Structure 1
Amino acid sequence: MELLTHIRYALWGPFTVLLILGTGVYLTIQTRLVQVWCLPRLLRGRTQSKSGGLSPLQALCTSLGGTLGVGNLAGVAIAITLGGPGAVFYMLLAAFFGMATKYAELLLAVRFQISDGAPLGGPMVYLTRGAGLPRLAKVFAVCCIFSALGSGAAAQGGAIAEAVEAVCPAPPVLIGILTGILLLPVLYGGGERIARASSVLVPVMTVAYLTAGAAILWMHRDRLPAAFAAILSGALEPLAAGGGVLGLLTAHAVSDGFAKGVFSNEAGMGSAPIAHGCTTGAKPCEEGMLGAVEVFLDTFVVCLMTALVILVTGANESGRMGLSMTAAAFSELFGPLAEGFIAVTVLFLAVSTVLGWSFYGLACLRFLRVRRALRALYPLGVALSVAAAAHFPLTDLLYLCDISAALMAFPNLYGLWVLAPVVRRETKAFLKKP
């Protein structure tokens, strides 16, 4: 764990923080402040596609299935534990500029989409076709395959085991094994079955979670100003202590905020473009707008809700960590049933994330032209990863997630810088349309 901690903070040091922030700022300029105009444009868009498909808002709700997960609950709590309330500020900062990053990712995924029996897109495709970097594309694909087993399967499996163990007196390993077995039929059903399952699992629990969080914030509305003040003052503490700019960049509040922000909304990782790049009949800029709004809802709504609930209830001072801290915060509303509420929420969101990430991994295997017989073993590997993860502490698994997120982000971010002129041209042409 000491070695993992060093690797994690080395990867999420000043260079990575500046790279993510700089990419978001640069793409914000190239997209003419997409954060401002994307939602009005999206709401004015067509209500239904010509082929009778999903409306933009329906597609947005579906795509959130792969994004919402343990990062919204445990990740926020761990960020506050490691970096203090100030980490929340950097999560929001990462998300604001991440809106432009994800817009560009999805735009490029559709722009350079290929048809390989079925549509295929994502960083591995636009790094090859757009940037002319096939070797880097293969590096990304390999990192994504392993990240799907880590961030997508192991972390979610660990979260499920920790949450369910709190309400069910069963060994965590047994919970993990049962979860992996139950996931296998869906995982072997292919991309369509995965997409259908994800779109059903997430919406109900997300609405229930936000409703419960809003109720707690209303109960403690007098403490909200103090919570926001703690977030702002915590973000400024490194400067006040005389650490200067370097201290600001290397402080845990910054590192944990950016890492958990990226892990939650996935802006810059290059994972979500794989799903959007495999759609049919999509238009680059319209798909990009869905990504920008998706980041906003994920971090500015769900993650911020979690952080404020923790701060107004004082759960961050309870001595607990991760999901246990989040459950302690929600006990203000549910009392002894809080552990059960969090367990059910985590189960729904985590399973959806496992399914989404398994789709990403399978798409990268298809890009690498791995034989069909070997690809058939990948869902089994995902299920085994979910089962095995229940044996390890969730905090340790989230360190691995941060490491895998950085390894995926580096080639993807480089590709975004190379292809930024394409994003600018596509956006300029799109904005000229009535």
Structure 2
Amino acid sequence: MSINDLVLKVNDVLTGSVLIIALVGIGLLFTFKLGFIQIRGFKDGWNRTFGGLFSKKGDAGKDGMSSFQALATAIAAQVGTGNIAGAATAIAVGGPGAIFWMWISAFLGMSTIFAEAVMAQKFKQVSDDGTVTGGPVYYIRGAFKGTFGKVLAAIFAVLIIFALGFMGNAVQSNSIAASWNTAFGIPKIAMGIFIAVVSLFVFTGGMKRIAKVTELIVPIMAAFYIVGSLIVIFANVTAIPAAFHDIIVGAFKPAAVAGGAMGATLKLAVQKGVARGLFSNEAGMGSTPHAHAVAKVNHPVEQGFVAMIGVFIDTFVILNLTALVIITTGSRTSGFTGAQLSQYAFSTLYGKFGEIFIAICMLFFAFSTIIGWYFFGEANIRYLFGAKAVKIYSIIVCICVALGSLQEVDLVWNMADCFNSMMVIPNAIALVALSGLVKKTHDDYYNNFLPNQKKGK
């Protein structure tokens, strides 16, 4: 058995059962423990998110990010190639019904990411040079004192550095290089070097430059993709009712609407929908709390509200649009899968421009993910080795970005998925252990902080 085969087997076990049970379980735990916070807190999160869009530049202070900048950095990481390829893969393998289970996973994930953001705020740290940092390593240590907490935090830190900072960013670079080579004939290595140079420029500017870039690029990329997708969907407006019919019916009777996914079963629909949904919005993975930790807010719960909107945008907006483009155009029976299926779906209306549209989207989505994932890895480099190691880390990441463009290496892709999956375990253990503190912080907001604010204190 090759190393790649072994990695695939481990990943199949993790994504096929262990992580789905763990993440769905945590989502249910916080949904009920916090009284369906994803519904009660949605309006507040929406207002804080889009109110922050027009906030003054000074709102972030010198030592962190504004609430909107933190969300933009989180969304930059969440909205990646998975939003183009992830939904397509789920539909190709699990049928249209997989999208329904993506909705379920996102709904539960909103409560999970609320808890992650609240704990990230609760345990954030300020270094000697005034830099704010935070993330799972700190709330893991807060949940478990002594050796166990140190070991669990170190395991998480190593996993996220390799999963996102190194291998994950090589995968993102490969997606950009491949799509631009197809659309424009640009050599992959040339695109890889270009992305690496631009990335290094952003990285060396520190948190402030990362925040400014994500704050600018996320709204633009979202608007571009939303408009482009809606044009295709409304060009096939008569197919929209049938698309929702196939999603709902296919969620429980996949064989009835399987189409190209002739082997689709209820188990596959649930597994692919939940797994793709969870790994698209990253709720429970422990990645986005690094961004939410550095937001300047008056109470941890305020950033929890904002974090929920990130999951909503990722799944209920961006990923949903991909799914509807594929289903309304009838492309799910084309025999393609992954990004090729999405590319084919857009080309049904745009023709050759469909390839160009996907190439531009890949550039936006994957580059923003590189920035977000670098930032998450940097926080863990600081935790393990101190600030002096950040420069070395940034150079290694850029080398990975450049080399990742050369060719699609299955082992690298599969190891990135495997490390991504393993990240969930220490993060999930800590969240369960801290569930009481999450509830206590939630109650403090509603019982003490909010009433005092209304009184003008």
When normalised by structure 2's length, the TM-score is 0.86
**2:435 equivalent to 1:420:** yes
Shift of 1:422: 0.6
Query: What is aligned with 2:417?
Result: 402
Distance 2:210 2:68 in 1: 20
| C-alpha deviation, 1:58, in angstroms | 6.7
Contact kept in structure 2, 1:86 and 1:234, CA below 8 Å: yes
CA distance in 2 between counterparts of 1:291 and 1:4 reads 32
Q: Does 1:103 align with 2:130?
A: no
User: In the aligned structure 2, how far is the partner of 1:293 from the partner of 1:253?
Assistant: 25
| Separation in structure 1 between the aligned mates of residue 375 and residue 70 of structure 2, nearest angstrom | 17
2:26 to 4, 23, 26: 23
Secondary structure of the equivalent of 1:263? helix
The residue type paired with residue 92 of structure 1 is W
Separation (CA, whole Å) in 1 of partners of 2:42 and 2:410: 35
What does residue 59 of structure 2 align with? Answer: 53
In the alignment, does 2:362 pair up with 1:346? yes
* SS at 1:269 equivalent: coil
Amino acid at match of 2:444: A
**Structure 1 residues 267, 395: closer, same or farther in 2, change over 3 A?**
farther
Letter in 2 for 1:109: A
Q: Quick one: structure 1 residues 322 and 150, their matched pair in 2 at CA, closer, same or farther if it must change by over 3 Å? A: farther
Residue in structure 2 matched with residue 37 of structure 1 by the alignment? 40
Deviation at 1:426, TM superposition (A): 1.1
Q: Out of 335-344 and 320-329, give the one that drifted further.
A: 320-329
Residue of structure 1 in register with 2:395 after alignment? 380
Distance 2:387 2:132 in 1: 18
CA deviation digits over 1:221-266, x for unaligned, max 9? 22122222322333324799xxxxxxx9993333332332122111
1:101, 1:108 → 2: CA distance?
11
Aligned pair partner of 2:155 in 129, 136, 139:
139
Matched, 1:73 2:89: no
Q: Which moved more, 1:201-210 or 1:17-26?
A: 201-210
Letter in 1 for 2:400: S
8 Å CA contact retained: 2:103, 2:315: yes
SS in 1 for 2:428: helix
Q: Which segments of structure 1 move beyond 6 Å, counting only runs of 4 or more? A: 48-51
Change (3 A) 1:238 1:38: same
- Matches of 1:171 and 1:52 in 2, distance apart? 42
Aligned to 2:142: 129
Structure 2 residue 306 is the aligned partner of structure 1 residue 290: yes
Partner of 2:164: 148
Aligned residue in 1 for 2:183: 167
- CA separation in 2, counterparts of 1:163 and 1:353? 16
- Worse overlay, 44-53 or 402-411: 44-53
Runs of 5+ unmatched residues, structure 2? 61-65, 257-263, 452-457
Note the 1:122-271 alignment, pairs <5 A: 122-132=135-145, 133-150=149-166, 152-237=168-253, 251-271=267-287
Residues 45 and 349 (structure 1 numbering): CA distance in 2 closer, same or farther, change over 3 Å?
closer
State the secondary structure of the residue aligned to 2:184. coil
Unaligned runs of 5+ in 1: 241-247
RMSD: 2.7
Which of the residues 115, 121, 146 maps onto 2:126?
115
Aligned CA distance change for structure 1 residues 22 and 70 (closer, same or farther; 3 Å): same
Separation in 2 of the partners of 1:3 and 1:256? 21
Distance 1:44 1:206, change over 3 A: closer
Secondary structure class of the residue paired with 2:79: coil
Cα distance, 1:146 vs. partner? 0.6
When the two structures are aligned, how many residues end up with a matched partner?
Answer: 427
**Per-residue CA shift, 1:74-96, capped at 9, x if unaligned?**
22212222333232222221111
Give me the TM-score of the superposition, normalised by structure 1: 0.90
Are 1:87 and 2:98 an aligned pair? yes
- Alignment match of 1:365 (pick from 355, 358, 381): 381
Q: Conserved in 2, the CA contact under 8 Å of 1:162 and 1:394? A: no
| Structure 1 position 365, deviation (Å) | 0.8
* Separation of aligned partners in 1, 2:243 and 2:232: 13
Aligned residue identity for 2:405: A
Is 1:324 paired with 2:337?
no
The whole-number CA distance in structure 2 between the counterparts of 1:259 and 1:384 is: 30
Deviation at 1:388, TM superposition (A): 2.3
